[in-house]
């Protein structure tokens, strides 16, 4: 009788262990599937931006975006940098991203003037991430005084008719970034992911 009881308990324990293994295994399988889906979601927006065929440059901190996103790092705004052979062949325009969400990188007054000239005379699109970089744009008249106190990111461009356009908050929508992606990246890169999804989802930035 005692033997039967022990045998029965052993079977119950084995069944419970099997159920736990199946549940945990299914949980990790679903989590991996969700992560893959979220990475594919971000990659889809990277491809949408790539398809716009712009020469995208960034100055400051690393974006940390998927390798599929086509962008190149620059360290100044001289012609040899911005007109580099590294630019995509046949590109139809330029975007410079001033990426400094933690205000760690310095821009000189001369560099600010170079940015103004690129925007005014060569129709470069400029994205500033970080209030410090917005403040630099204020000093050369590219955005109104006090913008840096109201926004942490914005984009400047000229539309097809040559009229100036500005859109605040291009990198401020943290909620756009899937949680599973956010958990895997440096916190400093979250604005870059938000910016990427914004650029990939809205035509307004490309008018």
Between β-strands 164-168 and 94-99, what pairing exists: parallel, antiparallel or unpaired? unpaired
DSSP annotation of 88 reads P
pLDDT number for residue 104: 94
The alpha carbon of 39 is separated from its chain's Cα centroid by a whole number of angstroms, namely 13
Report how far residue 193's alpha carbon sits from residue 15's, in angstroms, rounded to the nearest whole number. 45
- Which has the minimum average pLDDT: 55-59, 78-82, 95-99, 115-119? 78-82
Q: What angle do CA 124, 201, 101 make, to 5 degrees?
A: 60
Report how far residue 138's alpha carbon sits from residue 146's, in angstroms, rounded to the nearest whole number. 8
pLDDT number for residue 207: 85
Per-residue pLDDT tens digits for 44-61: 999 999 999 999 999 999
Note the helical H segments in 51-164: 79-82, 109-122, 131-139, 147-150
Across the range 173-192, mean pLDDT stands at 93
- Which has the minimum average pLDDT: 2-6, 90-94, 198-202? 2-6
Say yes or no to pLDDT of 184 above 50. yes
Q: Are 115 and 127 in contact (CB under 8 A)?
A: no
Q: Are 94 and 125 in contact (CB under 8 A)?
A: yes
Q: Are 141 and 116 in contact (CB under 8 A)?
A: yes
Q: Are 198 and 205 in contact (CB under 8 A)?
A: yes
Residue 115, both tokens: 């940015």
Report how far residue 97's alpha carbon sits from residue 27's, in angstroms, rounded to the nearest whole number. 39
Say yes or no to pLDDT of 25 above 60. no
Where exactly are the structural domains of the chain?
Answer: 44-206
Q: pLDDT band at 115, cuts 50/70/90?
A: very high
Residue 39, both tokens: 């990475």
Nearest to 95 by CA among 53, 137, 48, 54: 54
Task: Give the whole-number percent of the chain exceeding pLDDT 70.
Answer: 81
Residue 205, both tokens: 């930035």
């Amino acid at each position: 009788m005692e033997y039967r009881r022990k045998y029965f308990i052993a079977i119950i324990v084995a069944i419970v262990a099997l159920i736990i293994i199946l549940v945990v295994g299914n949980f990790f399988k679903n989590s991996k599937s969700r992560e893959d889906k979220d990475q594919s979601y971000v990659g889809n927006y990277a491809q949408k931006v790539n398809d716009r065929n712009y020469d995208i440059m960034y100055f400051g901190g690393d974006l940390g975006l998927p390798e599929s996103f086509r962008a190149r790092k620059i360290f100044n705004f001289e012609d040899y940098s911005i007109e580099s052979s590294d630019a995509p062949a046949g590109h139809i325009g330029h975007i410079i991203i001033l990426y400094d969400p933690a205000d760690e990188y310095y821009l000189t007054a001369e560099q600010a003037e170079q940015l103004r000239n690129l925007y005014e005379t060569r129709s470069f699109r400029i994205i500033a991430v970080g209030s410090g970089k917005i403040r630099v744009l204020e000093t050369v008249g590219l955005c109104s005084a006090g913008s840096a106190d109201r926004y942490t990111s914005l984009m400047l461009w000229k539309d097809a008719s040559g009229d100036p356009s500005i859109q605040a908050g291009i990198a401020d929508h943290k909620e756009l970034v899937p949680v599973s992606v956010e958990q895997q990246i440096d916190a400093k890169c979250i604005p870059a992911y938000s910016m990427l999804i914004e650029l990939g989802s809205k035509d307004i930035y490309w008018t």
